[in-house]
Chains A and B, each alone.
Chain A
Amino acid sequence: MSYNILLCGVGGQGTVLASKLLAAAAEKMGETVHSAETIGMAQRGGPVTSHVRIGKDAYSPLIPKKSADLIIAFEPSEAVRNLDYLKDGGAVITNEVCLKPVTESLNPTGYDGKEMVEYLKKTVANLVVLNADKLCEDLGSSKFFNVAVLGVAKGADFLPFTEEALIETIETSVKAGFVEVNKKAFLHGVEEGRK
């Protein structure tokens, strides 16, 4: 198998945990997996990406442009920023809730995310737009979006892993005490994704 997943968002949104879960699930399925994080500065608020590469033929630490099978974006402008990585016919799952740059009040750009979502709708055929706040309403906090979105990806049949592999991974990789809520988030995502 060869499958590339790019996760992107803004520092502090939990992309790293999501990429670790994907990598661990791939290993559970007996696949060779590599990943790379673009780690910004200590401060929050900069763009972050995780490149997850499944398969024996993946050598480059980062996914080559036009080779991502799936982009999971935690913020709509970050999906657009990384769109060059998407393979023709690849899928994009994006959160539509925007995060303004932390410098917005000082240098207003008027950014509100809508233009990004519109553009994605126009150009990406295989697109799932989510609202993280709504998706996570029953989970108590939008910070579970990182696991819920993996559920959506599974439910929508974008992930080459079994549901069991992903759930087992959550059980073994997430801090004790957070396992149940993350499992709930994942399963809730699966349901959403199936729609």
Chain B
Amino acid sequence: MKKEYVMGNQAIALGAIAAGVNVACGYPGTPSSEIVDTIAKRNVNKAIHVEWSINEKAAMEVAAGASYAGARCLVTMKMMGLNVASDALMSLAYVGVEGGLVVVSADDPGPISSQTEQDTRLFAKYCRIPVFDPSSVEEAYEMIQDAFEYSEKYKTPVLFRPTTRIDHAYGSITYDENACPKEIPGFVKNSKRFVIFPRLSRMNHEMIEKRNPEIGDDFSDYRFNVYQGKEGNKKAVLAGGAGYAYVKEYLQDRTDVSLIKVGTPHPFPERFLLNALKDVEEVLVVEELFPYLEEELLMLAGKKQLKIKVLGKHTGNSPLAGENTAEQVAADVAAFLGEASNETEGIESSDASGRPNPPMRPPVLCAGCPHRASFYAVKQAMKGRKANFSGDIGCYTLGNAMPLDMVDTCLCMGAGITMAQGLHWTDKETVNFAFVGDSTFFASGMTGIANAVYNEADMILCVLDNSTTAMTGHQPHPGTGMNMMGDVVNKISIEKILKGMGIEKVLNVNPLNLEEAKSAISECADAPGVKAIIFKSPCVALFKPTEKCVITDSCIGCKKCIREIGCPAISADGKTVKIDASMCTGCSLCAQICPTGAIKKEVR
């Protein structure tokens, strides 16, 4: 056994390895990405099949197949990925599994790095499958192993939903470094079981609805559904996940009020709750995102005609949106108990008066980021023409910031391509651009392109190919020639895919060559149908720069380089413009726009 101080996501990965996981797959997304990365790094003898799948749906289906053969499977994603995977998961919930199948869907209250504040617990209820909700790093390590057991016990996929504060927190766990994957029994054909038909769904639906209360009863004795407090308490706080951690921080080991933790929100462990709430008259529910536990408790109270007052989001006793904080929760619990909380007292009034405002530090594209050059080239080439710029999700969403201001829309992964078509059908005079990153292209861009070709939309597709999934921490994808088993594989050519779909004009451009890029864009703007430009240049995090640019005496201080491209390496002090040599990658975009040619490239 080995003790190690690890991140929550590493604890989840180590827990899955301890559970004998055979197949681990997923698609990157903050805050979930380190799970697959960790399993890949600790994959002794490559005994586990580890992959970044092209998207979450693919990952879910790979896992479903392996599970039918009896393998233990882990699927990871951020919660929006669950939307993409839901078609597969929903049907799988009816069919069931053979080997344990655990789907980690990481929620992001805040949201800190996501498009939505959705709640995986609700998805579990919608799919009618169990969900586990860890409240600490240590618990996550144990719970993920339990999740595999329950999955196999009830032959159902199960969800596991940590939140950002669990995924990215650190704690100590003790694990077996010699754990190895389970023996895989092998696929036993049985079309009555594995081929979904309306009749099967009807039958299994009834089975599932009868089974869920049994699981709820089973969960009533589950080790992470626990409460503290003495008999006869009239007040209780009900909490789960990070919300529990905040309440526990305030209440510590107090027994004059009951603290009830629910680690399995669905199926709701009713017997456990009825017992924990025996003499309780008033409950404050503390949870993030959806008022899930609150509504379950209201339903239970209605069903059992409990005389109990349920306070939470619906009653204005806790915040409706955003992340919980220790102070907010302390204040809410204190108010509920009629106590003054020293956590909240004086925070507002603390000598913050006269405090200078720290400067804002908004995220920007890195110095030398090739996306900046691509956006700038399109902007220049389209000067004076009506054009829409449909953006997408990735580092390149930051192309919306001043001074580039080149992202007019951003919705969900892959949507830029199809939304550009929608915009086109409302106004054929405007040139429509769609920007998509290489990882997003493989994840959900290809179908939208086929749609454009088939339905004869006019648009210019700009693939921003930086050879990585940068935004989520630089994971490889099918265009990079590497996979998570450490193998060098054939790169899938984006150009060939586009040509294969029947796009005639597919241009390869180096975005760091401004003139070449601009002329390619102008050439496409005047041609009918779907045109594509692949802007190929690596993310600056992938290489060590060998050159840098410096400003020479011929600089006239016009600051065009600052006003037009906004590279963070360039700054001005009065009339003097400087380049921070430690940041500059020598991309030379600034040199190409300097009206006096004052910026020169040098060897580092």
Contact = CB atoms under 8 A, between A and B. Distances in A.
A121 interface: no
Interface residues of A, number: 52
A123 B351 contact: yes
A27 B485 CA distance: 34
Given A65-B343, A103-B568, A24 B5 contact: yes
Interface string A21-34: 00110010000111
B365 interface: yes
Contacts of B472: 42
B355 A119 contact: yes
Interface stretch (A77-85, A146-154, A160-168, A184-192): A77-85
Contact of A105 (B31, B346, B356, B570): B570
A42 B252 contact: no
A10 B364 CA distance: 13
Contacts of B168: 36-39
Interface stretch (A54-62, A131-139, A174-182): A54-62
Contacts of B245: 59-61
Q: How large is the interface on B (under 10, 10 to 19, 20 to 34, 35 or more residues)?
A: 35 or more
Interface in A86-135: 100-107, 109, 111, 115-116, 119, 123
A62 B165 CA distance: 8
Given A78-B358, A80-B358, A84-B352, A64 B327 contact: yes
Nearest to A66: B347
B361 A119 contact: no
B361 A102 contact: yes
Nearest to B3: A27
B135 to A, nearest CB: 8
A115 B358 CA distance: 10
Given A34-B170, A43-B398, A116 B358 contact: yes
B359 A111 contact: yes
A77 B359 contact: yes
Given A42-B395, A44-B366, A116 B356 contact: yes
Given A42-B395, A46-B361, A105-B570, A59 B355 contact: no
A37 B7 CA distance: 9
A23 B30 CA distance: 24
A107 B359 CA distance: 11
A44 B358 CA distance: 18
A41 interface: yes
Given A33-B172, A84-B347, A105-B570, A64 B5 contact: no
B326 A62 contact: yes
Nearest to B166: A61
A41 B113 contact: yes
Given A65-B343, A105-B571, A77 B358 contact: yes
Contact of B395 (A24, A43, A65, A66): A43
Interface in B525-571: 541, 559, 562-563, 566, 568, 570-571
A43 B169 contact: no
Contacts of B113: 41
A35 interface: yes
Contacts of A39: 30-31, 168
A81 B359 CA distance: 9
Contacts of A36: 165, 168-170
B326 to A, nearest CB: 4
A37 B166 CA distance: 11
Given A42-B474, A80-B355, A109-B359, A34 B171 contact: yes
Contact of B343 (A10, A23, A66): A66
A106 B404 CA distance: 12
Contacts of B136: 59
B320 to A, nearest CB: 21
A123 B365 CA distance: 36
B500 interface: no
- By Cβ-Cβ distance, the 7 closest A-B pairs, closest first, are A102-B568, A64-B326, A77-B358, A60-B326, A81-B358, A60-B249, A61-B169
12 contacts: A27-B5, A42-B472, A46-B363, A60-B246, A64-B327, A77-B359, A78-B358, A101-B362, A102-B364, A109-B360, A119-B354, A119-B355
Interface of B: 5, 30-31, 112-113, 136-137, 165-166, 168-172, 242, 245-246, 248-249, 252, 325-327, 330, 342-343, 346-347, 350-352, 354-356, 358-366, 395, 398, 402-403, 470-474, 541, 559, 562-563, 566, 568, 570-572
